[in-house]
């Protein structure tokens, strides 16, 4: 079978491309960025999804049966929605290209859990409450699709906090910090969050792709692992695998450091701790994964195994 993955050079995309390649599918990765490993270059077509003509040419020539749309700008540095054209113009272009494919069986469109701010529990799939320009841009993504739904079966994916081999910021930094012995618990104000190990996310994506999602009331599926993780427990498990113990710092000291990070941010300098990040690290964010687990009930990798595989990958890849 033929599958097009946009953004297949990113973290999730790298794992998705590798998964379907191992299954023997014919894979095309459309991305502006070169793949993370040499073997994946055979599947890569350099293309910007905001370039309608180039995208249309690549899509029509490949003529996929399935599309997993992952390509996006995902950082939080943008100040306005217009700073995220891949998440708006790019989505419009993907929808137009998909509409020309008579043999297209399904398309999965990636949104973000940040269409709602941390700690906000949406009541419906149309309930949005973003707190960043990136989150607002992903609201636009969803609204564009609802306004122009594909003719084939389709669904939204909202990844939670994903981690595992080929990851980058912020959770690669999290693992690196624990590994270096520089991570510490924030007083007694830790939180519980929904995270997702990447191999489980790929399993969920495949289940969503291969099973019908025709119910208009259930078009949104979060990618993540249940139950949610108490972040101190996760850090302790990583540290244990490394033969370390995680120290604890008083909250007032971390808040002072975060304020210093805010000042550096105003000067255009990046610092690992800011008030925004501190709030995120101390606010519960538990996502309802019911829709996803109804279709993908048996994630293949437990947390400890995921930690070990991730640390092994870090050891191999530096």
Q: State phi, psi for 205 to the nearest 5 degrees.
A: -60, -45
**Least confident interval from 32-36, 92-96, 170-174:** 170-174
Q: What pairs with residue 223 in β-bridges?
A: 159
| Residue 227 is assigned to a structural domain of this protein | no
Q: In angstroms, rounded to a whole number, what is the distance separating the alpha carbons of residues 126 and 318?
A: 42
Q: What is the CATH number of the domain that holds 51?
A: 3.40.50.720
| Residue 101 is assigned to a structural domain of this protein | yes
Q: Judge contact between 17 and 29, C-beta under 8 A.
A: yes
Owning domain of residue 95: 2-159
Q: In angstroms, rounded to a whole number, what is the distance separating the alpha carbons of residues 109 and 276?
A: 28
Q: In angstroms, rounded to a whole number, what is the distance separating the alpha carbons of residues 186 and 174?
A: 14
DSSP letter at 8 equals: T
Tell me the pLDDT band of 45, cut-offs 50, 70 and 90.
very high
Q: State phi, psi for 122 to the nearest 5 degrees.
A: -70, 145
| Residue 140 is assigned to a structural domain of this protein | yes
**pTM above threshold 0.75:** yes
| Helix %, strand %, coil % of the chain (to 5) | 45, 15, 40
Q: Is it the case that residue 97 has pLDDT exceeding 90?
A: yes
Q: Is it the case that residue 158 has pLDDT exceeding 90?
A: yes
How many structural domains are present in the chain? 1
| Residue 58 is assigned to a structural domain of this protein | yes
Closest CA to 72 of 49, 96, 51: 49
Cα 9 → chain centroid? 13
| Residue 280 is assigned to a structural domain of this protein | no
Q: Judge contact between 210 and 151, C-beta under 8 A.
A: no
Q: What is the pLDDT of residues 165-198, one digit of tens each?
A: 999 988 999 999 999 998 899 988 889 999 999 9
| Residue 243 is assigned to a structural domain of this protein | no
| Residue 293 is assigned to a structural domain of this protein | no
| Residue 39 is assigned to a structural domain of this protein | yes
């Amino acid at each position: 079978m033929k599958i097009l993955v946009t953004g297949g050079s990113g973290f999730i995309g790298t794992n998705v491309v590798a998964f379907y390649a191992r299954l023997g599918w014919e894979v095309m990765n459309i991305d502006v960025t070169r793949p993370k490993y040499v073997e994946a270059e055979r599947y890569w077509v350099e293309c910007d999804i905001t370039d309608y003509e180039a995208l249309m040419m690549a899509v029509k020539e490949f003529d996929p049966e399935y599309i997993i749309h992952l390509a996006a700008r995902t950082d939080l540095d943008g100040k306005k929605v217009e700073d995220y054209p891949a998440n708006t113009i790019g989505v419009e272009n993907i929808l137009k290209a998909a509409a020309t494919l008579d043999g297209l069986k399904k398309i999965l469109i990636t949104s973000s859990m940040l269409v709602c701010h941390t700690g906000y529990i949406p009541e419906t799939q149309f309930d949005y409450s973003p707190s960043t320009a990136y989150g607002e841009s992903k609201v636009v993504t969803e609204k564009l699709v609802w306004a122009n739904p594909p003719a084939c079966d389709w669904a939204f994916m909202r990844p939670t906090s994903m981690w595992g081999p080929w990851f980058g910021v912020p959770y690669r930094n999290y693992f690196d910090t624990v590994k270096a012995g520089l991570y510490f618990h924030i007083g007694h104000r830790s939180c519980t969050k929904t995270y997702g190990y990447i191999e489980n996310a790929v399993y969920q994506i495949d289940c969503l792709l291969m099973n019908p999602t025709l119910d208009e009331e259930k078009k949104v599926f979060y990618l993540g692992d249940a139950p949610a993780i108490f972040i101190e427990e996760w850090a302790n498990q990583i540290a244990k695998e490394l033969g370390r113990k995680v120290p604890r710092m008083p909250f007032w000291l971390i808040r002072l450091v975060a304020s210093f990070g805010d000042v550096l941010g105003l000067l255009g300098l990046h610092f690992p701790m800011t008030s925004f990040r501190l709030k995120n690290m101390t606010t519960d964010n538990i996502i309802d994964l019911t829709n996803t687990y109804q279709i993908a009930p048996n994630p293949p990798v437990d947390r400890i195994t995921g930690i070990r595989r991730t640390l092994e990958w870090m050891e191999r890849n530096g």
